[in-house]
Structure 1
């Protein structure tokens, strides 16, 4: 699609979106007729975290990042979105509907902006659309929880590897003795004991370390050092 996108082209794109799978074409035509078109160049902010979310925003051309910036200024990529895609599906109908992340385009992109009350009226008339949307929201929630678990575990693995590097440097050996209990280490890292244990179990499964009580043999020092420096 180019700057002169026709309604037909938008309809064909939306037909590929999970929300509209199996939905009658006339329903999708109604969506396109009532939507506003938004166009952005590469690396432009589409929405900011905290912006009110009273719309359904469909990415119909291009790609965008969902980015979270923490108070220290570190930017974390939460999602990499490609057309066709509905943004913030799990947020739209919440009591305090605000965008949870910054949305920034990767390249020139086109969005369709649809009033959420209008979309509710469509779902009330179309059971397939309603079921598709509910499944889409559930999938979006699963993705977010899985993503944050992955990020949390990565940070914990990084802390464990940094701890092992410190022990190797202090003890001058790849076979080290932990100077704290796992409970103390977990407290130090701000993690739960089970979460910490899962990290050690995973490192053992991967063949990175061997353990015998408080003794740890680092079998893959390169992995441990690389992960300790992970950004």
Structure 2
């Protein structure tokens, strides 16, 4: 173990001793930005899942954007940032990547809602933005979200859950690399593996369709003969 490592762990002991005294003896609330949830991966954050079988996790949230073919076309490690703060920078990245293409729709869940975000989407280049209102909607918002087009596009948003599950099977369920650099590398390689898997599935489907068409053609020739 290096001297720098010993100093780091010694500093952690001092920090935790101070926080225990403040929290237990002085009844203080410790601000979240002062907390360290892992001495081995100090960049990790407390993630509230809100699920009965898994209420919390320690790690980082990753924002992904998929296209109509289920490829991940953009991702960002959020490092403690909130969902609702992501739309401005995300829209900028998407517009830069697809500057000369029209984007028919971009769908978000309620966690990204804010009045400012909706204004950006409504006045931007995306033809059919989908951002459900968080909280009680007004009359105009109820009418918009009850529209057939909104519902159809909103239903397609559920595909992102299977995208997330697939990502977990490609290495993002648990990062085994060390440090923040290793974490970034793990995320990038997992997304690359995911996209290659999607591509492989599509190529297999094309080959199966070709084989089926060829078999059908041979049968027709046999009947004609």
Settle same-fold status: TM greater than 0.5: no
Instruction: Tell me the TM-score normalised to structure 1 length.
Output: 0.29
Q: Which structure has more helix as a fraction of its residues?
A: 2
Q: Which has the higher strand share?
A: 1
TM-score, length of structure 2 as denominator length:
0.29
The structure showing larger relative contact order (alpha-carbon pairs under 8 Å, at least 6 residues apart) is 1
